[in-house]
A = this chain, B = another copy of it.
């Protein structure tokens, strides 16, 4: 019998299609791992040495090198094809006094994670991943000062079916001048739960998941990783801080460093376990004005693109998941570092260009 499961926070239902379900190993990329690719691509605007092909950087980690030249470790630039732009006002306008619109005011940045074209997070040394997460935090804290920006979303698209054609490792940041309707809706449900119980629904979810254990992948002192009860897609993965906090922007440097190590471990498991699948990664965080609320809880979601959302999902918002989170979690939990590090499973650390 198939099941309907409800996400306790957003109250959205998903269908767990047991009849159609596939075992976890069925989602491993067929035909093996794609090759490591080139460490440097002369035509790539994100590669070291090609800095003039991006807009001027808004931030970079450098040791005394000149801005917009080589010698950086992580580099942030405005997106050349920005969805939103900093100039403009937040005034609402209408067409025919009915259709509401406003300037597309905001910020859209690219966080270039490495000067090396093929150096993905699973292969970086720990400090490098900490510098990426530190850059996320840095940009968040800078952009939250602009009172026109209501939500700051950090995300990553990896692979063509996840919506990117750029192989060079990068994340993105968008600051929006409105609170998205869907996020407001989830917030309202979380608020209702708090009103009823006096608890943050995510804190409760976390404690239940840790108590049950069957959907947990790994734990550190301050973070837990699990496949949520109402996973929308196979291998959906959440990294949730154990300490309550509504906003990613309020984590300490020490927490960000620990978070980076957990993120690397999780992305290693996904990269080697499923053989470099396409995925989206999203840092779900409170709107800026709600950073101190009791009822929301920031977390990171990884959404592998192993299946395709179709008409039913688009028409209802109900996802059909053809894997059991309990089974996919076990598959991921059982992957251990010796296997992950096996050179037969993938490329070794890429060498930087000469």
Contact = CB atoms under 8 A, between A and B. Distances in A.
A121 to B, nearest CB: 15
Contact of A19 (B85, B180, B283, B310): B85
Main secondary structure of the interface of A (DSSP, over half): mixed
A181 B185 CA distance: 9
Oligomer: number of copies: 2
Contacts of A282: 311, 314-315
A154 to B, nearest CB: 9
A150 to B, nearest CB: 11
A98 B205 CA distance: 8
Contacts of A135: none
Nearest to A311: B155
Contact of A104 (B15, B211, B281): B15
Top 3 closest A-B pairs, CB basis? A163-B310, A2-B104, A182-B317
Given A81-B19, A104-B16, A181 B11 contact: yes
Interface stretch (A38-46, A140-148, A169-177, A339-347): A169-177
Interface of A: 1-6, 8, 10-13, 15-20, 81-85, 87-88, 95-96, 98-104, 151, 153, 155-157, 160-164, 172, 174, 176-178, 180-183, 185, 204-205, 208, 211-212, 229-230, 280-284, 301, 303, 308-312, 314-318, 320
Given A15-B83, A160-B308, 8 more contacts: A1-B88, A2-B104, A4-B104, A12-B181, A19-B85, A95-B212, A182-B316, A282-B315
A160 B310 CA distance: 10
A5 B318 CA distance: 25
A103 B96 CA distance: 47
Nearest to A229: B99
B81 A311 contact: no
Contacts of A103: 1-4
A311 B156 contact: yes
A161 B162 CA distance: 12
Contacts of A16: 104
B153 A312 contact: yes
A281 B312 CA distance: 9
A178 B280 contact: no
A311 B163 contact: yes
A90 to B, nearest CB: 9
Given A164-B310, A282-B311, A180 B101 contact: no
A2 B20 CA distance: 42
A102 B229 CA distance: 13
A183 B204 CA distance: 27
10 contacts: A5-B100, A8-B99, A11-B181, A19-B85, A20-B82, A99-B208, A155-B311, A181-B317, A280-B314, A303-B314
